[in-house]
Amino acid sequence: MTTAVTVPALPESVADATLVNWNKKPGDSVREGENLVDLETDKVVLEMPAPVSGVLKEITAQDGATVTGGDIIAYIEEGAVADAPAAAAPAAEKAAAPAAAAASADDKALSPAARKIAAEAGVAAGEVAGSGRGGRVTKNDVKQYLAGGNRRLEERVPMTRLRKRIAERLLDAQHNAAMLTTFNEVNMRAVMALRKKYQDAFVAKNGVKLGFMSFFVKAAVEALKKYPAVNAAIDGDDIIYHNYCDIGIAVSSPRGLVVPILRNAEQLGFADIENGILDYAGKAKDGSLAIEDMTGGTFTITNGGTFGSMMSTPIINPPQSGILGMHNIVERPIAENGQVVIAPMMYIALSYDHRIIDGREAVGFLVEIKQLIEDPARLILNL
């Protein structure tokens, strides 16, 4: 029996999707639930599982095709088995085995993209000098080898849907919001001492490390309660105030920046926040974030310090009205009780929509963050 493979119903906020990276070709065996192809939307990449087991009979929508819910993209001959290749002669098997072992060793030195180009051109990994980390052969290394090593190369590739969507939202924020940024600095000594003292006990009890982000999420929740305009959004001529804090945490993924949401962060403890962030980071890395994970949000926190950023002006994530930027922790001299001391300092930034957030509120919000981080006992005691 032939079964049609159809695109599942897409969420209401998603009009269509793009097929990327078919994992099977016609004639291949497939198992029920095995990923056939990735569906890339404006927000996330979804896997398209096989509805039944059998043989992929036909692909009707190729890589790069735009599809909507219900579209047929392939057919599977249910219950069929792919034709097995003819058995190799014993002598040929022996000869192939050393070659396969050598190729396997060489392949470890190639990136996946470089391996594909090298295989198509019949180039062995050992023939190409690698410029990557540990001598790894990159795609450009293979291209330069094929070009004789004396040509300047360029590559034109289309933007992914996610990257295009990120670009659109960033431009939208700059064009449609009266965005300003205010800065402050935070002495991280108290938080660092607290983490060092209780880290082992925290891990033993909760199975996750106590990071800086949970302190900033907790501090942001308290600051948002004190300055509700920072947690609000503009809708036409109205301002929507939220009595809950759905905090977006900016996470880097192989396909770009994504912002999964910690729902009702005002109800979460430190361990809940750390486990939530760890879970989202893993999903972002393997591409399993769902659209629902990134929908909504009333405020965002981004940590450029993980990449070594000293200071930045983060761009708000519409329709939100504020975003908190964390940065690198650097030991530098400060004045403390009339003395110059060395302290671990972090610059923090709040970008905000000046249409609904006044400068007084923006500055007050950052001051509240600063005070809570520099005296973290207030977070624990809810003071």
Number of Cβ within 10 Å of residue 27's Cβ equals: 11
Amino acid present at 108: K
Q: Reply yes or no on whether 28 is catalytic.
A: no
Give dist(CA 285, CA 254) in Å, integer.
7
Pairing of strands 251-253, 247-249: unpaired
Cα distance between residue 60 and residue 78, in whole Å:
17
3-state secondary structure 169-200: HHHHHHHHCCEEEEEEEEECHHHHHHHHHHHH
Give the helix/strand (H/E) hosting 216: helix 212-226
Q: Which of 28, 63, 200, 358 is an active site residue?
A: 358
Token pair listed for 205: 């009890």
Strand order in the sheet with 35-40: 45-49, 35-40, 17-20, 66-67
- Catalytic residue from among 28, 63, 200, 354: 354
Only one residue has tokens 């051109």, namely 121
* Cα torsion angle, 308, 170, 166, 276, sign: positive
Among all chains, which residue has been given the structure tokens 């963050």?
A: 369
- Measured in whole angstroms, how far is the alpha carbon of residue 134 from the centre of its chain? 26
Distance CA 352, CA 317 (A): 10
Closest CA to 74 of 44, 126, 36: 36
Collapsing DSSP states into helix, strand and coil, what is residue 309?
coil
The set of residues, in sequence order, having a beta carbon less than 8 Å from that of 172 and lying 6+ positions away, is: 318
175 is a catalytic site residue: no
User: Nearest-5° angle of CA 213, CA 327, CA 193?
Assistant: 55
Distance CA 214, CA 224 (A): 15
Q: Cβ distance 296 to 82 under 8 Å?
A: no
Contact yes or no for 168/174 (Cβ under 8 A): no
Report the catalytic residues: 354, 358
